[in-house]
Amino acid sequence: MSVLLSGGMVTTATQSRLAAVRSTDGRIVEIGDLVPRPGEEVIDCSGCLVLPGGIETHSHLDLEAVGTVTADDFASGTRSALAGGTTTVLDFGTQFHGESLAEGLARWHDKARGQAVTDYGFHLAMTQWRPEFADEMAQIVAAGITSFKLYMAYRGSMMVEDDEIYAALSASSRLGATIGFHCENGLVIDALVREELARGHTGTFYHQRTRPPALEREAFGRLTTIAELLDAQHYIVHLSAGETIEEVRRARQRGSKVVAETCPQYLLLDDSLYGTPECDDLEARQYVMSPPLRAPENLDALWAGLADGDIQFVGTDHCSFNLKGQKDQAPDFARIPNGAPGIELRLALLYTYGVAAGRISPERFVAVTAENAARYFGLYPRKGTLLPGSDADIVVNDPKPSWTVRHDVLHDNVDHTPYEGRRIQGRVRDVFLRGHHVVADGVLAGDLAPGEFVPCGLPDSDIT
């Protein structure tokens, strides 16, 4: 079964050219000045961008947290991703207290298998550090999970101490793997939260007041200092603050093997959404995520970092909790389930506010939404680019139409979107997953082929 996408602007991280793309049996076989073969399906892509399918680097699907579970599981979360042009999702499998790493990973395979409709891989989050993990990590890497995650915040449930960070990085660097870090100083945050609650300050406003940007910068600086002692690969997940980018830049100049991920919410939303100290309306609770949204000046710094290569990829941290029945249940700001949805709109937001707004080039758009993640997580060139031999994971984006985000047109299973009312320029017109035509003329197919687990290779920090 052969398909020819003709007349489109074929765009990768390195170049854009008018060309046709032929795929056969789920793989790209030819790109260039191609003429249709007898019986071949031809799809006219004139006026459109032909892009590699997006790679989501950061999701939490079917995650049990704070006595509840995320609204999206692998079925709804990956449907939503696919509708928005993301064909591969890297989710955070999670080892909970008392579990071995293999047990945590096995549970995540069970959650995703037969449910996911994108291809998928995993990072493995470790909610604690135990010395035996140093050996267990080798089995996990051999099973195709080459990135781990540790938290520098959330004492008592997930936070690890500096000596544990050192031990974990020592183990992962021996294996050639990497670790992503949630960089916030959890001990100081806890002290600030206690102070505000003692003053009777329970409103959502205090979520950001108790997690200032300096505590992200400090945690990142401490992390990268420890990692440099070991020459260990590491990355910062969901970088949110301009001052942290400066630390990343300095670290990279020193030769630190560090890369950075940010998220659309930190590029597009700011801390005014938390309202005033007095208010505690439900609206504001949708923005309770950690790190929190930042002051407006950070947004420009993040866009500049994304354009200049200080930030290498954009994931959403899709961690969806309903406003009604979940986020509204907490008695104070410190107990609101943290997280927000975004997996479906990642490409649309980055295209609209990045490419169409003139902040990043179409090639940089591909780099930060697909190719850099594929290179870093060892999926390149199977994923993240358009080359003969690559999987036929292809997005056709029509740049002409514009539309307004309404939650009811999205495909997730949560009850809101933080981007309600946003104008979007362009539309994901067609999506192919390994050659399957899963979105046609903007409509998600009714019968979707199951997604496949994709093992990751060893990370390559040499990306910009």
| Chain contacts with Zn ion (rule: CB under 5 A) | 317
Contacts of 250 (CB under 8 A, 6+ apart): none
Q: Are the beta carbons of 288 and 207 closer than 8 angstroms?
A: yes
Output DSSP code: residue 180: E
Q: Are the beta carbons of 184 and 292 closer than 8 angstroms?
A: no
Q: Are the beta carbons of 261 and 206 closer than 8 angstroms?
A: no
**Helix extents (H) in 130-289:** 133-142, 162-175, 186-198, 205-209, 213-230, 242-253, 264-268, 282-285
Output DSSP code: residue 408: G
**For residue 82, which of 43, 107, 115, 48 has the smallest C-alpha distance?**
115
**For residue 72, which of 447, 322, 445, 417 has the smallest C-alpha distance?**
322
368-384 exposure pattern, b = at least 16 Cβ within 10 A, e = fewer: bbbbbbbbbbbbbbbbb
- Positive or negative: CA dihedral 161, 166, 167, 168: positive
Q: How far apart are CA 370 and CA 303, in angstroms?
A: 17
Which H or E run contains 104?
helix 101-112
Q: Are the beta carbons of 66 and 25 closer than 8 angstroms?
A: no
8-42 exposure pattern, b = at least 16 Cβ within 10 A, e = fewer: bbbbbbeebeebbbbbbeeebeebeebeeeeeeeb
Q: Are the beta carbons of 67 and 33 closer than 8 angstroms?
A: no
Q: Are the beta carbons of 384 and 86 closer than 8 angstroms?
A: no
